[in-house]
Amino acid sequence: MTWIEWYDSLNKPTWTPSPSVISTIWMILYPIILVTFGFVFMQAFRRKLPWRVVIPFALNLAANLLFMPFFSGMRSIPLATADIVIVWVTLVWLMIAIGPHYRWVAIAQLPYFIWVSIATTVQILIFATNA
């Protein structure tokens, strides 16, 4: 069974965005993430920002990149669910951590936060209805 056949066979909330909508959202979010995360890492390398502020950015990036291998590659709904919760938690953490230093970076994460909140809810419901 292909990945998309497997995905289509899962019980999902009726309001789950289509794969094409999900792709479009990520095409909008990834440039925002690239610019803001890149800025934060560059400020840390220039010693204008404490490395402890960068930790949630690094963890978020790693967890974000691992979601699709967990979900579509391994087809592990529990692992993907745990991972997306980590993405959400580290996103909240990084917004709080960067706010006092570069408020614009925290504000720029709002679309990412909204999307990850929706995606986390969908993933938790997929986990709950496909266990």
Higher pLDDT, 131 or 49: 49
User: Whole-prediction pTM value?
Assistant: 0.95
Q: Write down the pLDDT at residue 95.
A: 98
Mean pLDDT of 16-34: 96
Residue 131, pLDDT > 90, answer no
Q: Write down the pLDDT at residue 125.
A: 98
Q: Write down the pLDDT at residue 53.
A: 98
Q: Write down the pLDDT at residue 76.
A: 97
Per-residue HEC secondary structure of the chain comes to CCHHHHHHHCCCCCCCCCHHHHHHHHHHHHHHHHHHHHHHHHHHHCCCCCHHHHHHHHHHHHHHHHHHHHHHHCCCHHHHHHHHHHHHHHHHHHHHHHCCCCHHHHHHCHHHHHHHHHHHHHHHHHHHHHC
Residue 29: CB partners within 8 Å, gap ≥ 6?
111, 112, 115
Q: Write down the pLDDT at residue 69.
A: 98
**In the chain, what are the domain boundaries?**
19-130
pLDDT tens, 58-84? 999 999 999 999 999 999 999 999 999
Residue length of the chain: 131
